[in-house]
Amino acid sequence: MNRFIHLLKALIGPAIIIVAVVAIWFYRAELLGGKQADVTQSASKADKSTEKQTVLEISEQARKNLPLVSTLCAANRLPV
């Protein structure tokens, strides 16, 4: 009997940790505020986008400057 109690005390800590990790895993969407999107939901949203797309027209000078900006950003590791 004493051996059983010693084994139970040794296993109760890891069991509590495992239960906590499993509970957090199943409720992670609610805990993180729903920031993680399901892959199927995001794919269906991409197919049925209601956003209006606009065409951006840039001047000839801006077109000439585009390679300069991308080269500068690549050299300094800055976002474009």
Question: How many CA atoms, within 13 angstroms, populate the side-chain half-sphere of residue 46?
Answer: 7
Query: Which tens digit of pLDDT belongs to each residue from 21-46?
Result: 999 888 887 777 765 555 455 555 55
The region that residue 26 occupies, defined by phi over 0 for left and psi between -120 and 50 for alpha, beta otherwise, is alpha
Going from the C-alpha of 22 to that of each of 14, 15, 35, 38, 39, the distances in angstroms are 12, 11, 19, 19, 21
The full set of domain ranges for the chain reads 2-38+55-76
- pLDDT (mean) for 71-76: 64
Query: Which tens digit of pLDDT belongs to each residue from 53-73?
Result: 888 788 888 878 777 666 666
